[in-house]
Amino acid sequence: MAAEKDAKKKDVTNVAEDAKKAAKPATKRGRRRKGAKRGPKPASERTVDFVVQFGGKETSYGDIVGQIKEMWKSRGKRETSLKALNIYVKPEESTAYYVINAGTKGEETGEIKY
């Protein structure tokens, strides 16, 4: 009977020790670092190739945006003040209509021929 009590006592102490080990926070070595969270690429790393062809003419997204930015700068405004740009292309008229900073105090609309 004394042997049974010693065996039970050892089992209880083993369980108590296991509980203490589980309760300890992981050390720096024991922590796993998760990989970097990958979201969408920043705008500077994305590429867009958009070309409109109609009636033997061709223009690209970059050409249209470039013309609008040059017009914006020629009016004495900084490129950083151009917060939003909406472009509507009408290929049958060879015209791109734009809205700059829509819904704000500095909203500006216009058109460019390409």
How far is Cα 68 from Cα 87, in angstroms, rounded to an integer? Answer: 10
Judge whether residue 36 has pLDDT over 70. Answer: no
pTM: 0.57
pLDDT of residue 14: 62
The average pLDDT across 27-34 equals: 62
Residue 101 has pLDDT above 70, yes or no: yes
* Per-residue model confidence as pLDDT tens digits over 81-99: 999 999 999 999 999 999 9
- Mean predicted confidence (pLDDT) in 18-28: 60
- DSSP codes joined into one string, 39-98: -PPPGGG-----EEEETTEEEEHHHHHHHHHHHHHHTT--GGG---EEEEEEGGGTEEEE
Query: 26 pLDDT exceeds 60?
Result: no
